[in-house]
Amino acid sequence: MAASIRVRRLVAGAATTGLLAGGAALGLSGTAAAAPAATTSATVLAGDHHDRCEWKHGHWAKKWVKGHWEKKVHWTKTWHKGHHDKHGKWHHGSWDYDRHHKWVYVHGHWHHYWVKGHWDCHHK
């Protein structure tokens, strides 16, 4: 896939250079045909910045996260035993889930994350 894009760019650049050089040669009938072609191709190459771009594949990266406090959800699970009420009816036991927040200290650690593939262009 990348080779086909490069081939298309090469063909398009050659066609553009040829067309511009031909037009310049027709417009300047008194000068040599080689001189305008050289200046035209230099102009086309100077305006094209894609030759400095390269594709960076997706990869895993890591970043250091310093220690900090976080408010986290904490669940308390309590079992209520079954019992007989005053009428002699049996009530089954059940679990009770109580949610509350608790401040927890998280030590410094490396955070791994995915960087998607992208074009990296160096404009120097």
pLDDT of residue 43: 45
Q: Convert the pLDDT of each residue in 43-90 to its tens digit.
A: 444 555 667 788 889 999 999 999 999 999 988 888 888 888 888 888
**Residue 19 CA: distances (Å) to CA of 16, 41, 73, 99:** 5, 11, 68, 74
Q: Does the pLDDT of residue 95 top 90, yes or no?
A: no
Cβ–Cβ < 8 Å for 97, 77:
yes
Mean pLDDT computed over 93-103 = 88
Domain extents in the chain: 2-48, 68-106
pLDDT of residue 44: 47
Mean pLDDT computed over 24-49 = 51
Q: Does the pLDDT of residue 123 top 90, yes or no?
A: no
Cβ–Cβ < 8 Å for 107, 90:
no
Q: Convert the pLDDT of each residue in 105-117 to its tens digit.
A: 999 999 999 999 9
